[in-house]
Amino acid sequence: MDPKEILPHRAPFLLVDDITEIVAGERATGLWHLTGEEWFFPGHFPGRPTLPGVLMVESLAQVGAAAVLQDPRYVGKLPLFGGVERARFRRQVVPGDTLELELNVTQLSARAGKGTGRASVGGQLACEAQLLFVIVDAQEG
């Protein structure tokens, strides 16, 4: 599924290429294919391009947002970061890798939620984190 059909994010900050599974309000999985042409690789790092860990966490958050936004209770809403806990980075992610993303929503209320995410490459864990988010109206006013 095209993430642009669900998420408000757009290039250059849409960090998911495909949403592969969604259980509304519960969990989602997705893929991010890293070509090496992404805007951050030339500076992170010259001669050894590496996906920044914070962008791995953001890609997990985007997959989680897809799960939340598919729940009819959150039409017209926007999940925003409230915090990151227990983030761990286990392997480098480099051009040519496909990041396999999964986020399980562990708590969800009208105003906030929590989820546990994992990012892998070829079955090898690259990143795991607990994400906290707040839910706001998509439009101010």
Task: Please write the tens of the pLDDT for every residue from 39-49.
Answer: 999 999 999 99
| Strands of 98-108's sheet in order across | 18-23, 27-33, 98-108, 112-121, 124-137, 77-89
Query: How confident is the model over 116-136, as pLDDT tens digits?
Result: 999 999 999 999 999 999 999
What is the count of structural domains for the chain?
1
Percent of the chain with pLDDT over 90: 98
Span 95-122, average pLDDT:
97
Span 106-118, average pLDDT:
97
**3-state class of 84 per DSSP?**
strand
Token pair 């900050």 is found at 13
pTM over cut 0.75: yes
Percent of the chain with pLDDT over 70: 99
- What is the distance between the alpha carbons of residues 94 and 77, in angstroms, rounded to a whole number? 33
- Give me the pLDDT at residue 141, please: 61
From the candidates 1, 9, 14, 44, which is the catalytic residue?
A: 44
44 flagged as catalytic: yes
Residue 100: which CATH number? 3.10.129.10
pLDDT higher than threshold 90 for residue 78: yes
Domain that includes residue 82, residue range: 3-137
Mean pLDDT in the chain?
97
